[in-house]
Structure 1
Amino acid sequence: MSTVSDGTVAGPRRLRAILAILATAVATCGVVVAATATPSSAATCNGYVGLTFDDGPTGSTSALLSVLRNNGARATMFNVGQNVQNNRSAAQAQVAAGMWVGNHSWNHAHMTSMSQAQMQSDLSQTSSAIQSATGSRPQLFRPPYGETNGTLQSVASSLGMRQVIWDVDSQDWNGASVSQIVSNASRLQSGQVILMHDGIQNTRDAIPQIMANLTSRNLCPGMISPSTGRAVAPDGTTPPTGGTPPPAGSCTATATTTNVWGDRYNTSVTVSGATTWTVVVAITAPQTVATTWNGTASSDGSGTLTMRSNGSGNTFGFTTMFNGNSSARAQIRSCTSG
C-alpha cells in the first residue's frame, strides 16, 4: 500500500489499477463459486429420490462421502451398530457431510429368526451407538437383507423408527458393473428409494452418472420421511409437483424381492398411505404362492393374490414357487385403502 500513498501523480493511477485488479479477482471468484455450485442446488427439483447406502461405516466411507459431496448429493446411511462402535469418526463424518443416518441392526444378522426381546436389544443397542457417535438418534430402520415381519416392525416403531426397504435394487452387492448400477438407478421415480452399499468401488464410480441422470429428469436427492418412508425434500417437505396425487381411497404398495433360492423366492411388500388396505398382486403362471405372512390372503385361482391388512403392520410377504419359471417376479396391480 505504500506505493499508492506516496503523494505522487502516479499514486491515483496505481490505485485505480489495483482496484481494477481487485474487481477482476472478485468477478473471477464469483465465476468459480458458480461453477462449483452443487447440482442439487442448481437443478429444478420436480421430485426427490432417496439414495441409501447400507453396511457402513467402512474403511471406504471417506471416499464415498467425497464422491457424494463432489456431485452435490446427500444420502441416507444405514449403519451397522458394530461398525459405528468401531469407527465413530466415520459416523461423525457422515453427519458432518450432510448425510442422514439410519439403523441397520447391530451386526447384520437374520433378525426374523430372533425373539422380540432379542430384536429390541439389537436395535436399541444400535441406536444408542449411533446417538453416542453422532449426537442424533436414528428415525429410520432398514432390516438386514430386507427380511422383516410384524414383530420386527413393531419393535422398530416402539424405538421411534420407521422401517424403510427399497424400490430399486442397484445390485451392487451382487457384483454389478458401473454401467449396470447406473442403468438400475435410472429406474428411480419421484419418492422412491434405491439400495446401494458403502465400501463398493463400482458404486462410487457410478455416482456421477447417477446424478447426471437424475438432474436430466429434474429429480434431486432428498431425505426419507420418517412418517411415510418416501423420499421428500431435504427440509422434509413433500415434492412440489412430482405428479398427480393418488386418488382418494388409494395407497401405494412397493414390492421387493428379498430372497431367491433355486426353486422359490420371497417378496416383501410395504404399503404407504393407509393403515388398512387391500393389495392385489399378479403371479405369473406356472408360478404359485406357497406361503404368506402379515396379511390375510386369498386367491382367485388365476394367478392373482389378494392380501388384506390384519393388524400386523404395513409390510407383508409371501413365498412364490418357480415351478419351472425362474425369471418372472410378482407384480403389484393395485392398492386400495379401507
Structure 2
Amino acid sequence: MSTVPRRSFPHRGKRWAVVTTALACTVPLTLTAAAAAPEQAAACNGYVGLTFDDGPSGSTSALLSTLRQNGLRATMFNQGQYAAANPSLVRAQVAAGMWVANHSYTHPHMTRLTQAQIDSEISRTQQAVAGSGGGTPKLFRPPYGETNATVRSVATRYGLTEILWNVDSQDWNGAGADAIVQAAARLTNGQIILMHDWSANARAAIPRIAQGLTARGLCAGMISPQTGRAVAPG
C-alpha cells in the first residue's frame, strides 16, 4: 500500500464504560445480508475494504445493525482497552460477520514509544481481543497511521500485517455524511477506506455507500493479511 501521511487526529471525549448485555443483544447472532449469497458474490467485479477504528463503543450496536441491514461487512480495528471492557460487543462484531483487528491498547503515538512499550500495546490488544471472543487478530493499524520500522517489526513478531488506508473519509475531522459518501465513491478494487466506530456521520452514510458500491459492481471484502488489499471474503 501507499504510505499515508501522518495525522494527529483529535482525541475523542470520555469513552463509554462497560456496555450492558442488553445493548449488545440488539445485534442478532445470526448472519443475514452480511453473508453474501452465491449469486451476489458472482456480481462482484472487485472488492473494497470498509474499516472502522476505535471500537467497541456505545455506538457499536447501531453501527453493526446498519452494516447488516445494508449487506456490508467491515474490518473493525478495536482498541484493546475497549475490547477488554466490552467483550460482549466484540462477540457481537463477530456474530454480525465482521472481522476484528488490532488498533493498539490505548491509542498512543506509537512512534514515540520504546520498543517494550510498543510490544505491550500490541500484545495486550491481541490478548484482549482473543479473550473477548474476537479471535486472534491478523491485522494491525497503528493509531493516526503513524509507523516506523520498529512498530512494523513488533507487529510482525505477533503475526500481524500493518494496514493503513487509501481513502480517508475525514469522519474524524467532522466530515458530513455527503462528504463521506463522496470519499467512498473514490474507492477502487482492492482499496481501503478509513472510518470510525463512533462517527454518527459515517453510520448515516452507510446506506448510500452500499448503493454506490453496488452501482459500480464492487462488494465489501476482507483485507488479506498476505497482500494488505481487499479481497473476496474467505
Q: Is the 8 A contact 1:50 1:221 kept in 2?
A: yes
Unpaired runs of at least 5, structure 1: 1-35, 236-338
- Number of the residue aligned with 1:190: 189
- Is 1:162 matched with 2:131? no
Cα distance in 2 between the residues matched to 1:49 and 1:189: 7
Aligned twin of 2:120: 121
**Structure 1 segment 136-147 matched on structure 2, within 5 A:** 136-147=135-146
Q: Which amino acid is 1:200 matched to?
A: S
Name the structure where strand makes up a greater proportion of residues: 1
| Distance in 2 of aligned mates of 1:214 and 1:124 | 35
For the Cα contact (< 8 Å) 1:39–1:215, is it kept in 2?
Answer: no
- Name the % identity: 62
CA offset digits 1:103-136 (Å, max 9, x no partner): 0000100010011111111100010000000151
Q: Displaced runs of 4+ in structure 1, greater than 2 A? A: 36-43
Other-structure match for 1:253: none
**2:201 aligned with 1:216:** no
Q: Confirm or deny: 8 A CA contact 1:186 1:214 kept in the other structure.
A: yes
Equivalent position of 2:148 in the other structure: 149
Greater Cα radius of gyration, structure 1 or 2: 1
Change (3 A) 1:89 1:38: closer
Q: Secondary structure at the match of 1:51?
A: strand
Q: How many residues align?
A: 200
1:52-86 Cα distance to aligned partner (Å, 9 max, x none): 00000010100000000000000000000001111
Question: CA RMSD of the aligned region, Å?
Answer: 1.4
1:51 is the counterpart of 2:53? no
Task: Write the deviation string for residues 233-290 of structure 1: whole angstroms up to 9, x where unpaired.
Answer: 001xxxxxxxxxxxxxxxxxxxxxxxxxxxxxxxxxxxxxxxxxxxxxxxxxxxxxxx
With structure 1 as the length reference, what TM-score do the two structures score? 0.58
Letter aligned with residue 180 of structure 1? A
Q: Which residue type is aligned with residue 142 of structure 2?
A: P
Query: Does the 8 Å CA contact 1:40/1:220 hold for their aligned counterparts?
Result: no
Query: Is the partner of 2:54 in helix, strand or coil?
Result: strand
Q: Which runs of 5+ in 2 are unaligned?
A: 1-31
Matched ranges for 1:286-305 at <5 A: none
Q: Which has the higher contact order (CA 8 A, sep 6+)?
A: 2
Q: What's the offset of the Cα at 1:148?
A: 0.2
The residue type paired with residue 178 of structure 1 is A
Structure 1 residue 171 displacement after superposition: 0.5
Q: Which residue of 1 aligns with 2:177?
A: 178
SS in 2 for 1:134: coil
Amino acid at match of 1:84: A
Alpha-carbon distance in structure 1 between the residues aligned to 2:59 and 2:96: 15
Alpha-carbon deviation of 1:39?
A: 9.7
* 1:103-122 map, 5 Å: 103-122=102-121
| Match in the other structure for 1:75 | 74
- Corresponding residue number in structure 2 for 1:132: 131
Deviation at 1:138, TM superposition (A): 0.2
Question: Given the superposition, is the C-alpha separation of residues 94 and 39 from structure 1 closer, same or farther in structure 2, using an over 3 Å criterion?
Answer: closer
Cα displacement string for residues 14-62 of structure 1 (whole angstroms, at most 9, x for unaligned residues): xxxxxxxxxxxxxxxxxxxxxx866954361010000000000010100
The one-letter code of the counterpart of 1:155 is V
1:154-186 deviations in whole A, cap 9, x for unaligned? 100000000000000000000001100000110
Q: Give the TM-score taking structure 2 as reference length.
A: 0.83
In 1, Cα distance between the equivalents of 2:145 and 2:175? 19
Change (3 A) 1:37 1:85: closer
Separation in 1, partners of 2:204, 2:53 = 17
Q: Which has the higher helix share?
A: 2
The aligned counterpart of 2:61 is: 62
Q: Check conservation: 2:94, 2:134, Cα contact below 8 A.
A: no
CA distance in 2 between counterparts of 1:207 and 1:155 reads 34
